[in-house]
Chain A
Amino acid sequence: MVKMDLLKVVRVTSGYGTLTVLNQVSCEVADKSLVAIVGSNGAGKTTLLNTISGILHPYSGKIYFKGKEINGMPPHEIARLGISHVPEGRRIFPNLSVLENLKMGAYLARENMKNGMLKKVFEMFPILKERKNQPARTLSGGEAQMLAIARGLMRGPSLLMLDEPSLGLAPKVVASVYETIEAIKKNGVSILLVEQNVRYALEIADKAYVLENGKIVMQGRGRDLLKNKNIKKHYLSLK
């Protein structure tokens, strides 16, 4: 069965002012799938997510979400359509409490603070329940990443975009973050995952793209790429 594309990026060129970063990038996320975009530092992964979520506007190209053209829309309207972007570096609200952060996550779906959603999120991230009244700035790196993901889930998005969720985390913590990501996928949320941590990402991805210098240079099923010679050479063996 062919799944409908939830997100479709068509030949997008984007960047910062006069600096063009992305060059004719195309990719798709099928409904209920997990897509990974891997690439080294500075490849343009964050730029791609920022362009999808409306923080940046593409110079050319089109972005469709649920069949609707979204390029050029402001970020808060794109969020309203069901995209939840968990930005690089977590970007939680440091002076708000954990609970208040979650409340902001549910800004567009306030009923979720009262129905089962909050409970579900707390079940998924028990540590956040423990710390719910603490200011978010007091959380450890792993906890902060959990909060950022939890905040992104609070409004019940159809697409969750994660930007380097493993950045700066200890290996054990990374493993638990990835368990969580798989659990989220099982709950029926589509995921667009951006990573430098190639092994983990490819392992769980249904489909993956390799981004280099702002261009998609390779794509395929996650496990297939994992076996690819070039990938092995450039991203995996050099450890």
Chain B
Amino acid sequence: MLDVVAQSVISGLINGLIYAMVALGLSVIYGVMDLINFAHGEFVMLAMYFTFWIVSFSGLDQTVAFLPALPIFFLVGVLIYYGMLNRTMGTPLSQIALMLGVAMVIRSFVQIAGGTAPKGLPPSFIFGVLNIGSLAISYSRVATAVVSLVLLIIVHLFLTKTYTGLSMLAASDDRTAAYLMGINVKRIYALAFGLGLALVTIPAAFLMTYQHADPSSYLRFGLLSWCIVALAGLGRISGIIPAAIIVGIAESLVVTFVAPEAHSLPIYLLFILVIWLKPKGLFGRK
């Protein structure tokens, strides 16, 4: 029994670390711009399809397949900001509707270009299984979790140690004061949105080392990310990790002890409870 619990927890921990990376882009956008990117899940899905296409077309390994996708996503983010969000600043409802429009376009695109069948790739150069007692975890998941941690640290350092990163945090604290410092807040927002989208390409590529992509993947990754961001609260990146681990472990325990179909239930319940009882998040500032 204890063994089963321990295994479930370890598996959930690994998943949680991976989820942290999936939610990272959403967290950056929300943290800096106070804008909920309703199309986040769709962008994760789109990036998974990109990975699939890049790998199938060029034969690159999944683990580096994000390299061509990353600048494209960044550019798309910047364009969406200047073309749409900048023109609707101060009207959050319109921004939400806009991002829902974008989400619909992406869903359509994925279906038209990729069909409805799930897309999976052959194993990357990381393969094999790590055995801990009777628990078997694939090396790709372990590698993804490690990459996640590294990426979170890099983004954290970017936000706290560079002028551009700090000015993102400053703009999120006080937009007007940031302007008075000579910060071009609009440019910073465009960068943040671009960064938020670019950041989905890396988790997407690594997810494709052990998962399929299908036209409904957006649902899972979208709500999952929102849940983590809600739990983490508006804050620096460090809040994401405990939040994501809680989500991962809760999900894993439910799958083990209740029913695999119920895997999303603890996530949403946790999400709803947290925003009711602690709207600023469990690990947020302020």
Q: Give A contacts to B, CB under 8 Å.
A: 53-55, 74-76, 79-80, 84-85, 87, 91-96, 100, 103-105, 107-108, 110, 151, 155
Which residues of chain B are near A74, meaning CB under 8 Å? 179, 184
A104 touches B286 (CB 8 A): no
Cα of A85 to Cα of B285 in the assembled complex, Å? 27
Give the residue among B179, B180, B235 with the most A Cβ atoms within 10 A.
Answer: B180
Which residues of chain B are near A55, meaning CB under 8 Å? 176, 179-180
Cα of A53 to Cα of B235 in the assembled complex, Å? 30
Q: Give B contacts to A, CB under 8 Å.
A: 160, 163, 166-167, 169-170, 173-174, 176-185, 235, 285-286
* Other-chain contact of B166, A53, A84, A96, A155 (Cβ < 8 Å): A96
B169 touches A96 (CB 8 A): yes
Cα of A76 to Cα of B178 in the assembled complex, Å? 8
Which residues of chain A are near B178, meaning CB under 8 Å? 93, 104
Which residues of chain A are near B160, meaning CB under 8 Å? 100
Q: List 15 A-B contacts (CB under 8 A).
A: A55-B176, A55-B180, A75-B176, A76-B183, A76-B184, A79-B179, A80-B182, A92-B174, A93-B169, A93-B173, A95-B173, A100-B166, A100-B170, A104-B183, A110-B163
A91 touches B176 (CB 8 A): yes
Which residues of chain A are near B180, meaning CB under 8 Å? 53, 55, 75, 79, 84-85, 87, 91
A106 → chain B, closest Cβ, in Å? Answer: 9
- For the A-B complex with A92-B177, A104-B178 known, give 7 more contacts whose Cβ atoms are closer than 8 Å: A75-B180, A76-B185, A87-B176, A94-B173, A95-B286, A96-B173, A104-B170
Cα of A61 to Cα of B131 in the assembled complex, Å? 76
**Given that A55-B176, A93-B170, A93-B174 are contacting pairs, would A108 and B286 also be in contact in the complex, using a CB cutoff of 8 Å?**
no
Closest residue to A53 on the B side, CB-wise?
Answer: B180
Main SS of chain B's interface residues?
helix
A139 → chain B, closest Cβ, in Å? Answer: 14
A75 → chain B, closest Cβ, in Å? Answer: 4
Give the residue among A54, A76, A94 with the most B Cβ atoms within 10 A.
Answer: A76
Give the residue among B167, B173, B176, B182 with the most A Cβ atoms within 10 A.
Answer: B182
A75 touches B169 (CB 8 A): no
Which residues of chain A are near B182, meaning CB under 8 Å? 76, 79-80, 107-108, 155
Cα of A204 to Cα of B171 in the assembled complex, Å? 34
Closest residue to A83 on the B side, CB-wise?
Answer: B180
B39 → chain A, closest Cβ, in Å? Answer: 27
* Other-chain contact of B167, A92, A94, A104 (Cβ < 8 Å): A104
B176 → chain A, closest Cβ, in Å? Answer: 6
A185 → chain B, closest Cβ, in Å? Answer: 21
Which residues of chain B are near A107, meaning CB under 8 Å? 163, 167, 181-183
A72 → chain B, closest Cβ, in Å? Answer: 15
Cα of A104 to Cα of B174 in the assembled complex, Å? 12
Which residues of chain A are near B181, meaning CB under 8 Å? 76, 79, 104-105, 107-108, 151, 155
B285 touches A95 (CB 8 A): yes
A87 touches B163 (CB 8 A): no
Cα of A76 to Cα of B183 in the assembled complex, Å? 6
Cα of A42 to Cα of B218 in the assembled complex, Å? 51
A46 → chain B, closest Cβ, in Å? Answer: 12
Cα of A110 to Cα of B185 in the assembled complex, Å? 18
Cα of A75 to Cα of B177 in the assembled complex, Å? 10
* Other-chain contact of B177, A91, A100, A155 (Cβ < 8 Å): A91
